[in-house]
């Protein structure tokens, strides 16, 4: 029985040797899987040898990168919380927090490369050249980014302000790093690049809570100036008293400003920005009634056209 078992073992060993010999022949011909295995093994062996010889540096680099990752997250949260407590703009606070996080990670990566013998100075120079090339390629986007940061720092307007920028009028809905969103009075959304806004004139119509609305009126040149002044001054004061949102300081005025086809008067009333449309509407109504009552309307200009026939001209 033992002899039969030993014979089986010898037969199995012989079969295995025969199987090993066939792939070897195929490898010699270059058409077997052994070629691929040996190529992969040739690439892996130096890597394994390098890791085995530098296992301490590899372990230190892994630990350093892990600690840097945790530190970068903590720095981001701490900066974000600190800026929010200081009532800093949230968009700009996120930008600074993310920038500091990536700076920490970049320093950690450079430190790890230095431990393995890489020339960090040359590597940093290469990164600088790559960054310069990318910056030139994205010059427009970077100008929008710079303009967005300046808008958030100097704050010529904030969310909710009514502005006129770049030929567009609307209410500011959001200020991002690259674009600013405006909502127009007719319900349109306008997305403007920040460089177009910061490089042009910015008119913030809601910066001051109190604004003035003006109405220019022309009355007959034969009207009594003193009477018209009294009537107009009375009606602007009435508007400042009766219309919600109108204010009496600064005082409303009625001033004679010009004489062109009649006496030109300028009526002005101050009020809250949200109530200016209502104030102006009431001012127009009272002014029209006053002109009708004083019969001081400007007469229509009549043009007389005389046609002369050719035969009458010859006579």
Task: Determine how many CB atoms are found less than 10 A away from the CB of residue 111.
Answer: 15
Question: What domains are there in the chain, each with its CATH number?
Answer: 55-137 (1.10.287.1260), 155-204 (2.30.30.60), 210-294 (3.30.70.100)
Two tokens, residue 16: 């295995």
b (16+ CB within 10 A) / e for 215-241 = bebbbbeebeeeebeebbbebbbbbbe
Do 215 and 283 meet the contact criterion of CB atoms below 8 Å apart?
Answer: yes
Helix-strand-coil split of the chain, %, nearest 5: 60, 15, 25
- Whole-angstrom Cα distance, residue 86 to residue 275? 33
Do 148 and 176 meet the contact criterion of CB atoms below 8 Å apart?
Answer: yes
Two tokens, residue 19: 């199987």
Two tokens, residue 53: 């010889």
From first to last of its 315 residues, the chain has per-residue pLDDT tens of 334 434 443 444 444 444 444 444 444 444 455 566 666 666 666 666 656 566 666 777 788 888 888 888 898 888 888 877 877 766 667 777 877 888 888 888 877 777 766 666 666 666 676 666 656 655 667 788 788 888 878 888 888 889 999 888 999 988 877 889 999 989 999 999 988 898 888 999 888 889 999 999 988 888 888 889 999 999 999 999 989 999 988 899 999 998 877 889 999 999 998 888 899 999 999 999 888 888 776 656 556 677 777 665 565
Do 197 and 223 meet the contact criterion of CB atoms below 8 Å apart?
Answer: no
Closest-CA residue to 161 (of 149, 152, 170, 153): 170
Task: Flag whether the pTM goes above 0.75.
Answer: no
């Amino acid at each position: 029985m033992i002899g039969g078992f030993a014979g089986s073992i010898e037969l199995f060993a012989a079969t295995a040797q025969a199987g090993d010999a066939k792939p070897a022949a195929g490898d010699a011909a270059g058409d077997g899987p052994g070629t691929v295995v040996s190529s992969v093994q040739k690439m892996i062996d130096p890597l394994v040898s390098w890791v085995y010889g530098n296992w301490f540096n590899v372990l230190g680099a892994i630990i350093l990168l892990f600690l840097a990752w945790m530190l970068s997250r903590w720095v981001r949260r701490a900066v974000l919380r600190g800026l929010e407590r200081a009532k800093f703009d949230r968009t700009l606070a996120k930008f600074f927090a993310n920038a500091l996080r990536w700076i920490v990670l970049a320093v950690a990566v450079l430190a790890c490369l230095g431990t393995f013998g890489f020339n960090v100075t040359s590597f940093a120079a290469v990164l600088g050249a790559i960054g310069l090339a990318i910056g030139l390629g994205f010059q427009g986007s970077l100008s929008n980014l710079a303009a967005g940061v300046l808008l958030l720092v100097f704050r010529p307007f904030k969310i909710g302000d009514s502005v006129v920028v770049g030929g567009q009028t609307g209410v500011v809905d959001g200020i991002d790093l690259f674009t600013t969103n405006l909502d127009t009075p007719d319900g349109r959304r306008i997305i403007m690049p920040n460089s177009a806004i910061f490089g042009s004139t910015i008119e913030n119509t809601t910066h001051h809570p109190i604004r003035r609305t003006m109405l220019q009126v022309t009355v007959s040149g034969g009207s009594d100036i003193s009477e018209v002044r009294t009537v107009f001054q009375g009606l602007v004061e009435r508007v400042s008293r009766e219309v919600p949102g109108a204010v009496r300081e600064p005082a409303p005025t009625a001033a004679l400003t010009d004489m062109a086809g009649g006496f030109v008067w300028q009526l002005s009333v101050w009020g809250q920005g949200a109530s200016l449309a209502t104030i102006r509407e009431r001012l127009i109504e009272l002014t029209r009634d006053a002109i009708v009552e004083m019969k001081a309307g400007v007469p229509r200009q009549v043009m007389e056209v005389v046609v002369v026939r050719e035969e009458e001209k010859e006579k």
